[in-house]
Amino acid sequence: METPRTFSIRTFGCQMNEHDSERLAGLMVADGLERAENGDEADIVIFNTCTIRENADLKLYSALGHLKAEKERRPAMQIAVGGCMAQKERGRVLEKAHWVDVVFGTHNLASAPRLLERSRAEGPLVEVLDAPDPESSRDMAPALYAVRETPFAAWITVQTGCDNTCAYCIVPAVRGAEISRPFDDLVAEATMLADAGVTEVTVLGQNVNSYGRDITRRRPLFAELLRALGNVEGLERIRFTSPHPKDLRPETIAAMAETPTVCPQLHLPLQSGSNRVLAAMRRGYTVERYLERLGAARAAIPDLAVTTDLIVGFPGESDADFDETLEVVARCEFDSAYTFIFSPREGTRAASMVERFVGADVIKGRFERLKEVLDRSALRRHEARVGLREEVLVEGPSRTNDATLSGRTRQGKLIHFPAGDAGLRPGSLALVDVVHGAPYHLVGEYASTVREPRHKVRIPLLSL
């Protein structure tokens, strides 16, 4: 009997990319391949790429360069590049790295096994579609073949693409226009996951709270979706990312407040605290509008944790603009933030604003000042939780200490606590008393076990 070929997948980018990699892994397994124990020795190496920032491009080509010698040593080895960067670069990937065998885009992820098989006979292939293939139902059913890294938690992709026109963002160009998956399919998928013991799902979308706008042609269905997922028996925690502030509607806030399984956590990207910069970014809201919606969410949802995204050094950002951002960030008291240095991406409006680019030294200084403000807010928020008893979903041993367990509170906060002799396994639910707050995590002490893990060994596949 022929030994099955092996594969490994290396992922760059966001949660959407991580979930796409799970789908890819599932497709490969369904095609008779096995995951390699040592990625460097795999018969097939797939890079699932991101292109939001230039650094992601550099990482990919560096990784491909390291594989060149391995490819020369093992000519039968195959290398594939997929995802957002492949969608943007297309044939240029082979021009820069001729030892790559297959390049596929974001719209034909399900074709990867077929393309790899074809490439064995035909040589290097590039297949990048400009829109999802309507004949491929798998493209719009991302969990059917998912091989998940975490058995007790899962992602559910509710839409692909984005209809916004943010000046700095390449996503609409590489992911296409918004396409929502059917409402009933999403509820069925959540039910399947819950039946297999998954207790936490994170709803994913490029602009998740506009979900369903293309289905109804009049209004989003996201609030209804949250309530429907909240009725799925077995699901204990529902999170979502990433919403757009201009589309955070009152009915979504109400659904969060009134659905017990929706976690009190909101990621609301601010990007800048200057109205002038927000307008140049084409974000579609003002600082005042952002604060109004943030205030409404905090008023409706007790103990809400709020995280955000911020860009430093957008073209034309002045010292006064940045000072306004610092003031707004301090006022918002975020629990944490993802901060980015502006990266010009070819094909975006902002990339053409070369004469307005901010100097690297100026950006570095601003970045450090912003971090100070964010760290102060995060520390205050976390120190305020000392003395509280948190419900924690155990993820497993800490990365730095096997005697310490790590998990997430309902607010999504990382908490570390001594493992002790409780025998908690990943997927367990425990009560933990917070004894210390740091800027990026909490420290606690085990109080009691709520329940043992519920997940099963594997999830059954839905039929197409």
- Residue 61 belongs to domain with CATH number: 3.40.50.12160
Please tell me which residue, 316 or 160, carries the higher pLDDT value.
316
Asked whether residue 458 carries a pLDDT value surpassing 60, the answer given is no
Q: What confidence score (pLDDT) does residue 104 get?
A: 94
Please return the burial class of 74, using the count of CB atoms within 10 Å of its CB with bins 0-12, 13-18 and 19+.
exposed
In this structure, what token pair is assigned to residue 420?
């002790």
CATH number of the domain at 420, please.
Answer: 2.40.50.140
- Residue 64 placed within a domain: yes
Model pLDDT for residues 378-434, shown as the tens digit of each residue: 999 999 999 999 999 999 999 888 899 999 999 999 999 999 888 999 999 999 999
Model pLDDT for residues 272-302, shown as the tens digit of each residue: 999 999 999 999 999 999 999 999 999 999 9
Q: Which of 125-134, 212-221, 224-233, 448-457 has the highest mean pLDDT?
A: 224-233
State mean pLDDT over 362-371: 98
| Single residue among 97, 127, 157 that ends a domain in this structure | 127
Whole-number Å distance between alpha carbons of 227 and 127: 39
- Residue 36 placed within a domain: yes
| Single residue among 105, 127, 149 that ends a domain in this structure | 127
Asked whether residue 142 carries a pLDDT value surpassing 50, the answer given is no
What ranges in 140-216 are assigned the alpha helix state H?
A: 171-175, 183-195, 213-216
State mean pLDDT over 119-132: 89
Q: Please state the domain count of the chain.
A: 2
Q: What confidence score (pLDDT) does residue 398 get?
A: 92
**Confidence band of 130 (pLDDT split at 50, 70, 90):** confident
Q: What confidence score (pLDDT) does residue 3 get?
A: 83
Among 333, 176, 158, smallest CA distance to 239 is for 158
Peptide bond into 242 cis (omega under 30): yes
Asked whether residue 321 carries a pLDDT value surpassing 90, the answer given is yes
Whole-number Å distance between alpha carbons of 293 and 328: 14
| Single residue among 109, 127, 145 that ends a domain in this structure | 127
Q: What confidence score (pLDDT) does residue 133 get?
A: 63
Length of the chain: 464
- Residue 411 placed within a domain: yes
State mean pLDDT over 65-71: 93
Identify the weakest region by mean pLDDT among 103-117, 303-317, 428-442. Answer: 103-117
Share of residues in the chain with pLDDT > 70 (%): 94
Whole-number Å distance between alpha carbons of 85 and 173: 11
- Residue 226 placed within a domain: no
Asked whether residue 139 carries a pLDDT value surpassing 50, the answer given is no
Q: Specify the pTM.
A: 0.87
- Identify whether the C-beta of residue 430 lies closer than 8 Å to the C-beta of residue 404: no
- Residue 369 placed within a domain: no
State mean pLDDT over 67-76: 93
- Residue 343 placed within a domain: no
- Residue 321 placed within a domain: no
Please tell me which residue, 83 or 322, carries the higher pLDDT value.
322
Q: Which of 16-20, 104-108, 182-186, 213-217 has the highest mean pLDDT?
A: 182-186
Asked whether residue 134 carries a pLDDT value surpassing 60, the answer given is no
Model pLDDT for residues 29-45, shown as the tens digit of each residue: 888 999 998 877 899 99
- Identify whether the C-beta of residue 419 lies closer than 8 Å to the C-beta of residue 403: yes
Partner residues linked to 339 by β-bridges: 310
Whole-number Å distance between alpha carbons of 233 and 229: 9
Q: Which domain holds residue 91?
A: 6-127
- Identify whether the C-beta of residue 305 lies closer than 8 Å to the C-beta of residue 413: yes
- Residue 256 placed within a domain: no
